[in-house]
Amino acid sequence: MAPDLELRDLGTTGLRITAVGLGTWAMGGGGWEFAWGPQDDERSSAAIRRAIAVGMNWLDTAPAYGTGHSEEVVGRTVKGLPRAPHVFTKVSLRWTPDRRIVHSLKSESIRAEVEESRRRLGIDVLDLVQVHWPDPEGDIEEGWRTLAELKDAGKIRHIGVSNFDVGQLERAAAIAPVETLQPPYSLANPEAEKEILPYARAHRIGVIVYSPMGSGLLTGSMTPERVARLPQDDWRRRDPDFLEPRISYFQRLAALLAEIGREHGGHSAAEVAIAWTLSNPAVTGAIVGARSDSQVEGFSGALSFRLSGKERDRIEAFRAENH
C-alpha cells in the first residue's frame, strides 16, 4: 500500500482501513432480482487487482450478489494476490431456485450462510460479517445472537449490521456490541446524517457507507439517454431517481461536483461525491463499486482527496437552493 495513504480506525474492531474500499455488487453479474446487468469475470478480477494495486485494503461483498457468484469471483481473485485485503461479507439474504431473493434471520440459515461464504471465499475466518437487512424484523435478535455465537466460535472476527435504524441498533446492542454499521449515504441519499450517523459516532461504531456516488447519479455520466440504454435487468431503469424530474437535478449537482474537482487539478465528480461522504466525522470509509480496472482508476483519487470547509459549504448551498 502507498505509504502516504490515510488509514482509519474502523470503530473498536482494531482494523485500520483505507478511506475507500471496493464494492463487488455488480460483479455478481446478471439474471437475478437486483442485478446490474451482465458482467465479465475477468473484468471483475482486473478491477479487484487494480483496487489493491492503488492502495485499497478492503473489499465489500455479499452472498446475494449474483446469488453467490460475487463471492466466488472475489475468492478466486484474492487467492492469487501477493497481499490479501480484508474481505467483508454479509448474511440474511437467501435465494430461490429461480434466483429470487428472500430474507431470513433464522439461526440455521445464518449458520449455513457463513459456512457457504467461507467456502466460496476460501477464507477460514471471515474478517467481518454484517446482517444485510433487518428483515424479518421480528427475527433480529435471533440472527444477531447467532452471529455473536459464530464470532465466539472463531469463525468470524467482527460482526456488524447494514441498513439498521437506531431502534434496531439498540435491540442488537442489548445482545452483543455492534462493531460496524453499513448504511446508504450520499448526496443522492443523505438521510443517514439525521439520526444514524450521530448515533454511530456517539457509540464508537465503525461506519462504512455504501452507494456514495448514488449508484452512478453523481458521476456526471448518467443521463436519461444512458438510463434508457441500461440492460433490462438493471434495477436503475425502474428507480425514480433515474427518471425525470429527479435525474435532471442530479445532473446539475454532478456538474457542480465536477467543477470543484477541476479546481483541484482534474479530480472527477465521482471523487468529489465520495469525498463529501468522507467529510462526515462519523464515516470511516466508503464502498465504491467498479466493474473494470478503468473504473477503479476513475475514483482512485478519492483515497486521498478531501474537501475543504468552503467546498462543502458550496455543496450545501446548492442542496438548500434546490431542496
Exposure string for 150-165, b = 16+ CB within 10 A, e = fewer? bbeeebbbbbbbbbbe
- The strand pair at 16-18 and 101-103 is best described as unpaired
Q: Catalytic one among 65, 185, 199, 210?
A: 65
Q: Is residue 228 part of a domain?
A: no
Q: Is residue 235 part of a domain?
A: no
Name the grid cell of 315: 455543496
Name the grid cell of 71: 463471492
Determine the average pLDDT of the residues in 153-173.
98
Closest CA to 291 of 282, 279, 299, 280: 299
**Unique residue bearing C-alpha cell 465479465:** 40
Cα dihedral across residues 257, 263, 267, 272: positive or negative: negative
| 132 CB-contact burial (10 Å; exposed 0-12 / middle 13-18 / buried 19+) | buried
Q: Is residue 43 part of a domain?
A: yes
- pLDDT of 3 reads 47
Closest CA to 214 of 254, 163, 262: 254
> Of all residues in the chain, what percent carry a pLDDT higher than 90?
80
Does residue 65 have an active-site annotation?
A: yes
Range of the structural domain that residue 87 is part of: 7-213+277-306
φ/ψ (deg, to 5) at 261: -65, -40
Q: Is residue 269 part of a domain?
A: no
Report the amino acid identity of residue 209.
V
Determine the average pLDDT of the residues in 75-80.
94
Q: Is residue 257 part of a domain?
A: no
pLDDT in tens, 123-153: 999 999 999 999 999 999 999 999 999 999 9
pLDDT in tens, 87-128: 999 999 999 999 999 999 999 999 999 999 999 999 999 999
- Is the separation of the CB atoms in 277 and 315 below 8 Å? no
Residue 321, SS3? helix
- pLDDT of 56 reads 97
Output the DSSP codes for 248-301: HHHHHHHHHHHHHHHTTTS--HHHHHHHHHHTSTT--EEEEE-SSHHHHHHHGG
Q: How many separate domains does the chain show?
A: 1
pLDDT in tens, 187-226: 999 999 999 999 999 999 999 999 999 888 998 888 888 8
- Is the separation of the CB atoms in 128 and 160 below 8 Å? yes
Q: Is residue 97 part of a domain?
A: yes
Q: Is residue 68 part of a domain?
A: yes
- Is the separation of the CB atoms in 94 and 54 below 8 Å? no
CA distance 323 to 319: 6
Query: How many other CB atoms are found less than 10 A from the CB of residue 244?
Result: 10
Determine the average pLDDT of the residues in 224-240.
85
Query: How many other CB atoms are found less than 10 A from the CB of residue 75?
Result: 18
Q: Is residue 243 part of a domain?
A: no
pLDDT in tens, 7-58: 999 999 999 999 999 999 999 998 888 877 889 999 999 999 999 999 999 9
CATH number at residue 200: 3.20.20.100
- Is the separation of the CB atoms in 274 and 206 below 8 Å? no
Output the DSSP codes for 215-244: GGTTSS---HHHHHHS-TT-GGGG-GGGST
| Beta-bridge mates of residue 88 | 60, 128
Label residue 1 by pLDDT band (50, 70, 90).
Answer: very low
Torsion of CA 226, 230, 235, 236, to 10 degrees: 0
* Interacting residues of 167 by C-beta distance below 8 A, sequence separation 6+: none
